[in-house]
Amino acid sequence: MNNIIIHPCYFPSISHFVALAKADMVTFEMEDNFQKQTNRNRMYIYSPNGIQLLNIPVKHSREAHQRIKEVRIENDFDWQKQHFKSLEAAYRSSPFFEYFEDAIAPVFQKKHEFLMDLNLETMSIVSNCLGLDFTYDESTEYFLEVDNKTDFRHLINGKKDNSLFEPYTQVFGEKHGYLNNLSILDLLFNEGRHALDYLKKQQL
């Protein structure tokens, strides 16, 4: 039984979904503190100019430490419209963008108050698109170390995630070369339903 603990995040990196695709049971970490410059509120895509960061603005707390599930999204400007336009510019010409567009577009039209709710929804949407069915529960207390679970929480920090995966065809690959471990959307839009088989073959 492969039990893992991992963070929910915004259209996660491919490494996240490699871990999920191989797991029998998933625990989502809900009790840790929010940290800036992690994939909790950002994703990386392959734009016409190369790698591009899409960041969700969040409301800053006066407290030094704020639990991730209490973090609110800053919706005073239309970041969702900007993110979706960036996805269109990056993937409109990919083989499967139009196929999955209707499943993904609604998340950019809905105003979430809490970052965690948005993250859980994006992960659910992508899992359905992939045809990936997994059972999960949520942590109720934070532990620095966990027993009886493989700990993949470090993957939330993209700078510490050194995962390397097999190249696949990317829209601007001939222009900029293969970009490794982007958002799962890059794999989904380029590989479609073959993406799940790809994930299961990769090693972490």
Query: Number of structural domains, the chain?
Result: 1
Residue 1's pLDDT is 67
The percentage of the chain sitting over the pLDDT mark of 90, rounded to a whole number, equals: 86
Q: Which domain holds residue 124?
A: 3-201
Q: For 67-113, what is each residue's pLDDT tens digit?
A: 999 999 999 989 999 999 999 999 999 999 999 999 999 999 999 99
Q: What is the pTM of this model?
A: 0.95
Residue 40 scores a pLDDT above 80: yes
Give me the long-range contacts of 189-194 (CB less than 8 A, separation at least 24): 189/91, 189/94, 189/95, 189/96, 189/97, 189/100, 190/91, 190/94, 190/95, 190/96, 191/95, 191/96, 192/95, 192/96, 192/99, 192/100, 193/130, 193/131
Residue 13's pLDDT is 97
Average pLDDT, the chain: 94
Residue 5's pLDDT is 96
Residue 120 scores a pLDDT above 90: yes
- Count of residues for the chain? 204
Residue 77's pLDDT is 84
- Band of residue 134 on the pLDDT scale cut at 50, 70, 90: confident
Answer with the residue of higher pLDDT: 2 or 61: 2
Q: What is the DSSP letter of 113?
A: S
Residue 65's pLDDT is 82
CA distance 129 to 103: 8
Answer with the residue of higher pLDDT: 183 or 136: 183
- Band of residue 165 on the pLDDT scale cut at 50, 70, 90: very high
Instruction: Determine the residue type at 124.
Output: S
Residue 85's pLDDT is 98
Q: What is the DSSP letter of 71?
A: P
